Amino acid sequence: MPDQMITPRYNVVFTYDLLPHQEEDYYRFALSEFVPAMQGLGLYLVRAWHTLYGPYPLRQSEFVGEQLDTIREALNSEAFMALEERLLRYVTNYERRIVPYAEGFQMIHHN
């Protein structure tokens, strides 16, 4: 979370599966580049889930933001598009959604 307190109003939920043999490169990218860059865009990682059982995506990461306009602006920025393009090198079955913020796990229904 940022140094100043924010009031989370929205979650940006990312779900995906890791591509085989990309786990180490994915984790290196996610921790050293993706998360810090998202914070630079005003979106803050609050939860990351790993699915162990069932027909669900392997990973679900949730970033929070206060204003919907700010979130949309961040997700439409060239900086985010470049990050997303790099993320897609490591994952499959990728999806992202903006949903109202809620405490705890938020099940995202896939089509």
- Indicate the range of 31-35, 47-51, 92-96 predicted with least confidence: 47-51
Q: Stretch 25-47: mean pLDDT, rounded?
A: 96
Res. 105: pLDDT tops 90: no
Q: How far apart are CA 63 and CA 50, in angstroms?
A: 15
Q: Is the pTM of this model over 0.75?
A: yes
* pLDDT reported for residue 72: 97
Domains of the chain, first to last: 10-52+66-100 (3.30.70)
Residue 57 phi/psi, 5° resolution? Answer: -60, 150
Identify the pLDDT of residue 13.
Answer: 96
Evaluate whether 45 touches 85 at the Cβ level (below 8 Å): no
pLDDT of residue 1: 47
Q: How many residues does the chain have?
A: 111
Q: How far apart are CA 27 and CA 6, in angstroms?
A: 27
**Taking the CB of residue 73, how many other CB atoms lie within 10 A of it?**
13
C-alpha 105/C-alpha 44 separation (Å) is 16
